[in-house]
Amino acid sequence: MTERRLRIDARLRNDLTTIAEDVRTCDELGFDGAWNTETVNDPFVALTLAAEHSRQVEIGPSVAIAFARTPMTVAYPAWDLQRFSGGRFVLGLGSQIRPHVAKRFSMPWGRPAARMHEFVTALRAIWRTWETGERLDHRGEFYEHSLMTPNFTPAPNPYGPPKVFLAAVGPKMLQTTAEVADGLFVHSFCTERYLREVVRPTLERHRPAGAAPLEIAHSPFVALDEADREAVRRQISFYGSTPAYRPVLDLHGWGDLHDELNALSKQGRWDDMVPLVSDEVLGAMCASGTEEEVAAALHRQFSGLVDRIRFNRPGDVPSPRRFGGLLAALRAHG
62-116, pLDDT tens digit by residue?
Answer: 999 999 999 999 999 999 999 999 999 999 999 998 999 999 999 999 999 999 9
Where does the pLDDT of residue 170 fall: very low under 50, low under 70, confident under 90, or very high at 90 and above? Answer: confident
**Residues whose CB is less than 8 angstroms from the CB of residue 171 and which lie 6 or more positions away in sequence, other chains included:** 198, 202, 247
Q: Strand, helix or coil at 164?
A: strand
Q: Indicate whether 61 pLDDT > 90.
A: yes
End-to-end alpha carbon distance in the chain: 19
- Per-residue confidence (pLDDT) for residue 131, from 0 to 100: 97
Report pLDDT digits (tens) over 4-59: 689 999 999 999 999 999 999 999 999 999 999 999 999 999 999 999 999 999 99
> Is 45 in contact with 16 (CB distance < 8 Å)?
yes
Q: Residue type for 52, please?
A: E
**Across residues 187-193, what is the average pLDDT?**
94
Mean pLDDT, all residues of the chain: 95
Q: Indicate whether 209 pLDDT > 90.
A: yes
CA atoms within 13 A on the CB side of 47: 33
Percent share of the chain, pLDDT over 70: 99
**Cα–Cα distances in angstroms (integers) from residue 14 to residues 35, 40, 47, 58, 157, in the given order:** 10, 8, 10, 17, 28
Q: Indicate whether 153 pLDDT > 70.
A: yes
CA distance 290 to 293: 5
